[in-house]
Amino acid sequence: MKHISHWVDGKPWTGPVARHGEVFDPASGAVTGHVDFASEEDVDTAVAAANAAWRTWRTATLTRRAGVLFDFRAALLRRRRELATAITSEHGKVLNDADGEVARGLEVVEFACGIPALQKGEFSESVSTQIDVTSIRQPVGVCAVITPFNFPAMVPLWFTPIAIACGNTVVLKPSEKDPSASVLLAECWAEAGLPPGVFNVIHGDKVAVDALLQHRDVKAVSFVGSTPIARYVYENGTKAGKRVQALGGAKNHMVVLPDADLDLAADAAVSAGFGSAGERCMAVSTLVAVEPIGDELVSRIRERVATLRVGSGTDERSEMGPLITGPHRDKVASYLDSGVREGATLAVDGRVHPVIGGSPEGFWLGPSVLDHVTPQMSCYTDEIFGPVLGVVRASSFEEAIDLINANPYGNGTALFTTEGSHARRFQSEVEVGMVGINVPIPVPAAAFSFGGWKSSLFGDTHAYGPDGVRFFTRSKVVTSKWPRTAMPRAQLNLNFPGHQ
Ligand code: NAD
């Protein structure tokens, strides 16, 4: 039985712990470990370590910070397989997919290695007589990073490398459902020579989150999770005077136009709908078929879904693993019944999909398709976050765009077409933060920033990329006067200073 605990001030936690949570292997349904839950006092200890470390780390040279980032990348590459295995054992996703999330996290680390160029300020000479102006970007201090279960390595890596590269210190509060990856990340930072206290991990639940949101010495909060909690974190964090970026849930629509290559679209819908058992914030959960292609598209999707291999994430044959917990599996499956009750057609029932080699106690649900979904049904209005693809039939391209724009979420969307003018119109009119054209999961590359619109993101800055650097730094502008000759005798002048 594993025991997972906090990581504070460069070492594993040895203090007393009053509360624990259970960690499961979703493929067997068995409890495989316990994770410590932090109290308010434990959070205070971690923040104190981070605050003390910040006083020195903020002065570390850009060369030193970049050096640590390069060594962190090397440590992650060395331990990549171990990290992927830990993710699969607690999250359930198949090993290749777990490795893929580590790879996308590594891209952000590589971006942060360029910190000497990223944190550059600006300088204007002679804005006025003998007066120059410089803008500099300085770290903000202790940053809290609160993350969801579905990407236990990648989402922490969206924020922490950039926060640390910018000269901040971090307290990470990962999901209590799959906590091991965060401890492996802490070990990698230590191997990279990061000073103690710069990166800390606190496990737990609402108690730990609330303590971080209220702590005087936490200056910034990056959150990723469901929309109700993202809203809560944004409202309470900003009320406590912190800068907050809170990324929430999603309902991602993939529109297929009659001119699209239907095989390409069917492949994309199945891959993006059922990869990681649909537990991705960028998963395609709604397929919008612009008629008359609906029947043909659903038929091609059914053919493909029938061949998907569902099984344990550690079994090389598996393409899709189990869901994160039993209650979550049951909730996802309940939308198949409610969808039918509300008038949808169950085109594929994942409850009867075969499972290769998995234990019957595992949290299984095969890929499912609900056809003829309408915007009033709960399977459309709710974020299901599982392997259920809803198909909405639209009579025109305009109707498809209006449907997406009326949806409260705005994380990702995709259009499948062979017409450039349709693509151009879609990317211009659609009210969503990340748009794919013949790309079903348009997660931006690390040099851009990741973020949705509407209820998918609260705050002004997106994650990683240039927005990440903006979020983790404060700008300061220095106006200076260094006359070549001796300073002229000061003269009283009560007018507002102008430039000459
Ligand atoms: P969640 O909101 O339940 O949990 C996220 C974090 O908040 C966890 O660390 C959890 O411990 C904490 N938390 C949970 N309940 C809390 C409460 N009442 N008060 C304070 N903190 C609380 O999300 P999840 O189930 O772990 O992850 C799935 C969700 O995350 C989905 O909605 C998915 O769309 C979303 N997500 C969004 C993005 C994005 O980029 N927009 C990325 C990944 C996941």
Residue range 126-138, pLDDT digits in tens: 999 999 999 999 9
Structural domain spans, the chain: 2-248+456-478, 252-437
CB of 179 shorter than 6 A to ligand 1: no
Rounded to two decimals, the pTM is 0.98
How many Å lie between the centroid of ligand 1 and the Cα of residue 97?
A: 20
CB of 281 shorter than 6 A to ligand 1: yes
Residues with catalytic function: 281
How many Å lie between the centroid of ligand 1 and the Cα of residue 225?
A: 3
pLDDT at position 487 is 66
DSSP one-letter string for 22-69: EEEETTTTEEEEEEEE--HHHHHHHHHHHHHHHHHHTTS-HHHHHHHH
Domain 2-248+456-478 CATH assignment equals 3.40.605.10: yes
Other beta carbons less than 10 A from residue 317's beta carbon: 11
Residues 6+ apart with CB under 8 A from 55: none
CB of 176 shorter than 6 A to ligand 1: yes
Residue range 98-145, pLDDT digits in tens: 999 999 999 999 999 999 999 999 999 999 999 999 999 999 999 999
CB of 285 shorter than 6 A to ligand 1: no
pLDDT at 479 over 80: yes
Q: Are 144 and 171 in contact (CB under 8 A)?
A: yes
Which of 6, 145, 173, 224 should be mutated for ligand 1, with most atoms under 8 A from CB? 224
* Residue linked to tokens 């930072």: 189
Q: Which two tokens stand for residue 250?
A: 């999603």
Q: Which atom of ligand 1 is nearest to the CA of 385?
A: 31
How many Å lie between the centroid of ligand 1 and the Cα of residue 500?
A: 54
Average the pLDDT over 341-350 and give the result. 98
Class of domain 252-437: alpha beta
Tell me how far apart the alpha carbons of residues 195 and 192 are, in angstroms, rounded to a whole number: 9
pLDDT at position 488 is 65
CB of 235 shorter than 6 A to ligand 1: no
